[in-house]
Chain A
Amino acid sequence: MSINIKDVLKKYTMVLALIAVVIFFQAMTGGKMLLPQNLNNLISQNAYVFVLAAGMLLCILTGGNIDLACGSVVCFVGGIGAVLMAKDIPWIVAVVVMLICGILVGAWQGYWIAYIKVPPFIATLAGMYAFRGLSNVVLNGYSVGIDDTTFLNVFGGGADCYVPDLFGGANFNITCLLAGVVIAAIFTALVFRRRIAAKTAGYSVGPLTSDIVRVVIISVAVIWFFFMLSQYKGIPSSLIWIGIVLLTYAYITSNTTIGRYLYAVGGNEKATNLSGIDSRKVYLFAYVNMGLMAGLAGILTVARATHAEPTFGQGYEMDAIAACFIGGASAYGGEGNVFGIVIGALLMGVINMGMSIMGVEPNYQKVVKGIVVLAAIIFDVMSTKKKK
């Protein structure tokens, strides 16, 4: 088996697009784009996109179904948390309540979608209005501040939301760099362990060079990224949450039966039902998960802002949907993966940030974002057409 350049290019088109966009902005901003602080902001500012996109991916897998309500739910859940903490309820209790609220909202919408067959677009459109209204009710129309520093530090808000450096480096965070090296090492070990296991079990394995190239590229990227972060303040706590969410969902979608069912329902619902799988439960699962992720995104959002207000989360749902589609999720369901949404979210984040640094007017920024989403979908449709 040889490596087909064309296949590689096709598979990693969006990665290449991301690199091209980064280089473009790096040049246009005179090297400001890749400053450590900007990289740090890229993660912290877009934490909600990664989290919501993970939830959204599951819904989209079931057949291109989306959740328009999650932006409102972010605000609603965040509002509840802020109000609770303002009443001196321990932050940990507030967090649990917020997550449960997210799950309940997901179950509410999921029930109508799965069992009553309300089209997801409409069920969640209703939710978008209703939970926006409820956010206002909860917050009484005001902004509510959060001053629990533990909460803020843990969920990426305030000035100290970084993993402390165990070695006390003054301008350089050694822990952060070490973490990067460890992650790269673990990744390398996993790839080769799987390769050896497959070989001993007698399965065919891909060419060794492609594995090595993959490991080297990813390890270098990871170590470089953490090296850059160590030059600022280290690992932002939101990055840890993003990491947990993405790893969990990558595992669910590729290694569990329920993950398999999501793809199967999106690929052919009738065949899935006749295989003895209840597609209604699969839809419910996807939307309950979406609710949970909206809850977590709500926590991250209010923590970062150190307060909650009734206008939070507007348009978040669109950012998440865009990240999924740019990342190669099929608008018809059954195709897409977590790696893709990471690239999709990064691409959106880089474009936003690059344009901001360049001083492009916000209105034009939106135009560019729109064009990027459209281009990604056109690419998806064209490439599936060609396959037929």
Chain B
Amino acid sequence: MAKELLKMNQITKTFPGVKALDNVNFSVEEGEIHALVGENGAGKSTLMNVLSGIYPYGTYEGDIIYNGEVCKFQKIKDSEEKGIVIIHQELALVPQMSIGENMFLGNERGKKNAINWNETYGEADKYLKMVGLSESSRVLVKDIGTGKQQLVEIAKALAKHAKLLILDEPTSSLNETDSKALLDLMLEFKKQGMTMIIITHKLNEVVYVADKITVVRDGSTVETLDCHTMEISEDRIIRGMVGREITNRFPKREAIDKGEINMEVKDWTVYHPVYTERKVVDNVNLNVRKGEVVGIYGLMGAGRTELAMSIFGKSYGSSISGVLKINGKEVDLKNPRAAIDEKLAYVTEDRKGNGLVLSNSIKVNTSLANMKGVSERGIIDADKEYNVAEEYRDKLNTKTPSVEQNVGNLSGGNQQKVLLAKWMYTDPDILILDEPTRGIDVGAKYEIYCIINDLVRAGKSVIMISSELPEVLGMSDRIYIMNEGKFVGEMKADEATQEKIMSCILQSGRGK
């Protein structure tokens, strides 16, 4: 048996209000590729941030034992000196600088006041060769593709003399060929004795490269599977990932007669706004009836938000094509205003970034999307506005001392309610709810579900985007499954199971 390189003992990490990690034990042997899998928000990235010193020693409980000694990392530099290097999901390269400059950023070759450029580029070229890149290190990062940028990140890690390399979703922005090349490179490094941890959602990749798999769920490690002593199938991993039983976390909704089709989307295709040749949404067809909750399930980056925002007045993407029909009538929504006028509402997943004006009051946020409702010829009726805000505070049970309170001071669940209130006040027929319960506690979740039920009971249509399987299964009448920009399955809620949905995604990933 190989030597144990890393052991994380009883790690507990609490954020205000949330226990992100709860007594996690995790160990890695020298020379293996260890995969860390779990749903979004299960705690994988938090665990790796603890390991790399992003959360310094003292802000968590438990011990990190690396190479036989207890480590107390204060910052990333400390862990990097020991050879623990993390490559984050978002590329951390400066596009305007050359590959070589990027590789030694903060770690420059030569003297402090006299950078040795020959050494910089010479060394850089050496590492680039190791990752199989033929580019010169003098090329600017912005001039190479994402696949190659990811390899530069790895070369940069090698330049730091990495012994334990952590890759957080390394293939999430890569296409199939580049992903394959990256995984093969990992296997090559393993032969040379490197130890690696890979975090990924793509289970086929896990099966391809991993020696061991640790499943994280709700902030704890559930199990560690050894791929050499047992036959590991993707289904087996899924069972570990979603293992919990669904209890009555969802309020009952009496069966409602579904009305006619309220909104229909045909052959919807959207390209990335910056990389205009990249398809983000690919030929999607969807419809929703009155009184129906339609779930769209997909992992992060599947193109769900992009789909929703492109429908909502083209607020995302370029060269959008396809047909959008509302109430049987074909419409062309040029901007969010037009979408709101067609009684469409989009409740964003990013309530702080895209949803609320945090420096303004609940009252101001509630009326923002429907100022016409509280004003006449541009003059605000202060009393009416106050009344409206109070009405929705009552209706949604928002907990706040006053509607004059700044939204920034509210908890996540209450912020979400204000966001819902804002869109309910536009009196929409169709609501697209993007991750309506992200980052809020169980009680508030239940209340949000009740609001959704009230909405469909009133004959509205709800499209609910979510990456939480139990939520999709518990709330939807019908489920679309989305992966890599495409709809890869559609099922009625009573036929759907977690395993069916996951395998739908996996098959589509393999089928390419």
Binding site for B on A (CB under 8 A): 197-198, 201, 203-204, 255-258, 260-261, 263-264, 267-268, 270-278, 334-335, 387
Contact = CB atoms under 8 A, between A and B. Distances in A.
A211 B156 CA distance: 64
Contacts of A268: 353-354, 356-359
Of A198, A256, A258, A275, the most chain B CB neighbours within 10 A belong to A275
Q: Tell me whether chain A's interface is mostly helix, strand or loop, or mixed.
A: helix
29 contacts: A201-B383, A203-B383, A203-B386, A255-B380, A256-B375, A257-B371, A257-B375, A258-B378, A260-B380, A263-B357, A264-B357, A264-B364, A268-B353, A268-B354, A268-B356, A268-B359, A271-B353, A271-B356, A272-B357, A273-B315, A274-B312, A275-B340, A275-B368, A275-B422, A276-B313, A277-B337, A278-B335, A334-B357, A334-B359
B474 interface: no
Interface string B121-146: 00000000000000000000000000
Nearest to B364: A260
Contact of B360 (A197, A276, A334): A334
B380 A256 contact: yes
Given A256-B379, A256-B380, A274-B354, A264 B360 contact: yes
B348 interface: yes
Contacts of B348: 271, 274
Interface of B: 312-313, 315, 335-337, 339-341, 346, 348, 353-360, 364, 368-369, 371, 375, 378-380, 382-383, 386, 402, 408, 422
Given A257-B380, A271-B353, 12 more contacts: A257-B379, A260-B371, A264-B364, A267-B357, A268-B357, A271-B355, A274-B354, A275-B340, A277-B337, A277-B368, A277-B371, A387-B408
B379 A255 contact: yes
Residue among A203, A267, A270 with max Cβ neighbours from chain B (10 Å): A267
B381 to A, nearest CB: 9
A264 B369 CA distance: 11
A335 B357 CA distance: 11
B353 A264 contact: no
Contacts of B378: 256-258
Contacts of B335: 276, 278
Greatest chain B CB density within 10 A among A258, A268, A271, A277 is at A271
Given A257-B380, A274-B336, A276-B339, A267 B360 contact: yes
A335 B336 CA distance: 25
B337 A271 contact: no
B135 to A, nearest CB: 33
Nearest to B404: A204
Contacts of B368: 260, 264, 271-272, 275, 277
Nearest to B402: A204
A257 B348 CA distance: 23
A267 B382 contact: no
B478 to A, nearest CB: 26
Contacts of B364: 260, 263-264
Contacts of A258: 378
Contacts of A204: 402
Contacts of B382: 255
A256 B378 CA distance: 5
- The 5 A-B pairs at the shortest CB distance, nearest first, are namely A267-B357, A276-B337, A275-B369, A276-B340, A276-B336
A329 to B, nearest CB: 12
Contacts of B357: 263-264, 267-268, 271-272, 334
Contacts of A277: 337, 368, 371
Contacts of A255: 379-380, 382
Nearest to A268: B357
A275 B379 contact: no
Nearest to B315: A274
A203 B402 CA distance: 11
Contacts of B369: 275-276
Contacts of B380: 255-257, 260
Given A276-B340, A334-B359, A335-B359, A271 B371 contact: no
Nearest to B340: A276
A268 B359 CA distance: 9
A56 B371 CA distance: 25
A269 to B, nearest CB: 9
A260 B381 CA distance: 12
B391 to A, nearest CB: 13
Contacts of A267: 357-360
Contacts of B379: 255-257
B384 to A, nearest CB: 10
A271 B354 contact: yes
Contacts of A201: 383
Contacts of A198: 383
Contacts of A263: 357, 359-360, 364
A258 B337 CA distance: 15
A274 B298 CA distance: 23
Nearest to A267: B357
Max chain B Cβ within 10 angstroms of own Cβ: one of A198, A255, A268: A268
A160 to B, nearest CB: 38
Contacts of B315: 273-274
B360 A273 contact: no
Nearest to B383: A201
Nearest to B355: A271
A249 to B, nearest CB: 15
Nearest to A256: B378
Interface centre among B368, B380, B408 (most CB of A within 10 A): B368
Nearest to A384: B359
Contacts of A271: 348, 353-357, 368
A268 B380 CA distance: 20
Contacts of B371: 257, 260-261, 277
B346 A274 contact: yes
A264 B348 CA distance: 17
A104 to B, nearest CB: 23
Contacts of A275: 336, 340, 368-369, 422
A313 to B, nearest CB: 32
Nearest to B309: A274
Contacts of B359: 263, 267-268, 334-335
A260 B363 CA distance: 12
B136 to A, nearest CB: 34
Contacts of A257: 371, 375, 378-380
B350 to A, nearest CB: 8
B365 to A, nearest CB: 8
B334 to A, nearest CB: 11
Nearest to A255: B380
Nearest to A275: B369
Given A203-B383, A257-B375, A273 B336 contact: yes
B413 to A, nearest CB: 18
A334 B358 CA distance: 10
Contacts of B360: 263-264, 267, 334
B148 to A, nearest CB: 30
Contacts of A273: 315, 336
Contacts of A264: 357, 360, 364, 368
A123 B82 CA distance: 50
Nearest to B368: A275
A257 B346 CA distance: 22
Contacts of B355: 271, 274
A137 B384 CA distance: 53
A334 B368 CA distance: 14
A387 B409 CA distance: 9
A37 B375 CA distance: 45
B353 to A, nearest CB: 6
Nearest to B348: A274
